[in-house]
Structure 1
Amino acid sequence: MFESPIIDERIRGIAPGFRAMSIHVDATLAKEGCIDQNFLANACDFVSAGGPSWADAHLASWADAYLQFGSKPNRTPCSAQALRKRVLKDGQIPTINPVVDLYNAVSLRYALPVGGENYNAYVGRAFLTIAQGDEVFETVMNGEALIETPTPGEVIWRDDAGVTCRRWNWRQGIRTRLEAATGRMWFVLESLETMPEDALAEASNTLVDGLTKLMPGCEVLTQRIVAV
């Protein structure tokens, strides 16, 4: 059973145009499939050619949202901006594993943050909220495990055990990191008002199509979530 993510009502004050697609996947009984090996490379080429048309406006909106909660987007940009910068600098990004490559490609092609999480590692529901500053965030620095705490007032994704992603979607924690296309997974595609509504739906459909090809027979639940 999957539980819907919770959006703190205070998020609306930071980003009133926030809306997202939540995708839960159960691949426990799925078969092993594959996706086009050029999917990520093609997305990088699309970005290098200037696409999509709303990219600059949408990523500027994310930078504004980060400023609203005291973060410096040039130092800690949203995940979509970080990926895009790497592609514009180097032309490509390295592959990680098929499922991460898939959602990174969707992020690049649609210029929006996309996260993928190991849902089996969650304790309670996913919650987009404002940090108090005493929450636990498990990460790695110089190859060594490290416990951090977020800055008070920082936007975080968390569950009952601690922070799963800092500065909204800037850095994912290691506890819920998705490393294989098996078990139960959760994906979230996050957008602001400067991304066309139909583009968010298209991005979601593209990800779902890729996931079902990668994991034939998986069960998928898609929900639209907003700041209320």
Structure 2
Amino acid sequence: MYFQHTEAIWSEHPGLVAMAITAAGITPTADVDAPVAQFVAAARARLAGGTESDLAEIKAWRQTFTKMGLKPTQYRCASEALLRRLRKEGGLPRIHPLIDLCNAVSVAYAIPVGVFDLDEVDGYLEVRHAAGDEDYLTFADTGEHPEPGEVIFADAARRAHARRWSNRQSGRSAVRPGTSRVLIVAEALHGSAAEDVPALMKTLGDAVAEAWDVAPRSAVLSAEDRRFTL
């Protein structure tokens, strides 16, 4: 089993910097209140001088969505959606300790972070262009097919685990109380992504290791070294 972006994705988005973390032994009982509060406070400090759309990390994703033919105010990357919610509602929803932790790190760094239950992924997970016949399951348990050419996270069974790249994850591989093995992915396209993504990886990897007493594996991915073996 592996995770990677296809050559076409790296070619079309040369500024992409990505990282992957995998861990086993995840449970729904870990206490992440302290790190979540710390990361959310950092995000609030960043928002104190403006809105999420002013941040370089979000601007880069908006430009990328526009390049892909998507309206960036209609389809937002995951970190922008979370930051917007934090700014408007004053907090983030609590769902599962791992999701809560990843969402908090995501808003602190303004970088999308996705988490996938590996027991629901068949063979591999690849960020690629859709053919249009892949199966996508919403959180409401309804089926969809991505648009041909759309950037998706797809597995060997031609199931889409995320649509419109960093916009919307599938309910199929979402973290649930019984989830144990996970893949965490973060991707950025802004000017300082080469420094910020490794920093996010270390921060999040250390937090996961401490909260669950596990030993995560991680790697920064590039066009030259794009495959992360799970």
TM class by smaller structure: 0.7 to 0.9
Corresponding letter in the other structure for 2:104: A
Deviation for aligned residue 1:32: 6.2
Q: Is the 8 A contact 1:127 1:157 kept in 2?
A: yes
Corresponding letter in the other structure for 2:134: E
Secondary structure at the aligned position of 1:49 is classed as helix
Question: Partner of 1:167 in structure 2?
Answer: 164
Q: Is the 8 A contact 1:71 1:154 kept in 2?
A: no
Q: Is the 8 A contact 2:18 2:221 kept in 1?
A: yes
Correspondences of 1:36-47 after superposition (within 5 Å): 37-47=33-43
Question: Partner of 1:84 in structure 2?
Answer: 83
Corresponding letter in the other structure for 1:178: V
Correspondences of 1:122-137 after superposition (within 5 Å): 122-137=121-136
Tell me which of 30, 34, 37 is aligned to 2:31.
Answer: 34
TM-score by length of 2: 0.87
The one-character-per-residue Cα deviations of 1:72-99 (angstroms, maximum 9, x if unpaired) are 2111111011111111112211211111
Deviation for aligned residue 1:33: 4.4
Deviation for aligned residue 1:193: 3.8
Question: Partner of 1:49 in structure 2?
Answer: 45
Secondary structure at the aligned position of 1:206 is classed as helix
2:222 is aligned with 1:223: no
Taking the aligned partners of 2:178 and 2:210, their CA distance within structure 1 comes to 11
Identify the range of structure 1 (18-27 vs 7-16) with the bigger mean alpha-carbon deviation.
7-16
Taking the aligned partners of 2:44 and 2:147, their CA distance within structure 1 comes to 34
- Give ranges in structure 1 of 5+ residues lacking alignment: none
Taking the aligned partners of 2:38 and 2:28, their CA distance within structure 1 comes to 26
Taking the aligned partners of 1:43 and 1:79, their CA distance within structure 2 comes to 16
CA gap of 1:47–1:32, structure 2 versus 1, over 3 A, is closer
Whose helix fraction is larger, Structure 1's or Structure 2's? 2
**Paired residues, what number?**
220
Corresponding letter in the other structure for 2:188: S
Q: Is the 8 A contact 2:35 2:207 kept in 1?
A: no
- Give ranges in structure 2 of 5+ residues lacking alignment: 225-230
The one-character-per-residue Cα deviations of 1:128-151 (angstroms, maximum 9, x if unpaired) are 00011111001134xxx2100111
Same amino acid, percent of matched pairs:
29
Q: Is the 8 A contact 1:33 1:213 kept in 2?
A: no
Taking the aligned partners of 2:206 and 2:34, their CA distance within structure 1 comes to 15
The alignment yields a C-alpha RMSD, in angstroms, of 2.4
TM-score by length of 1: 0.87
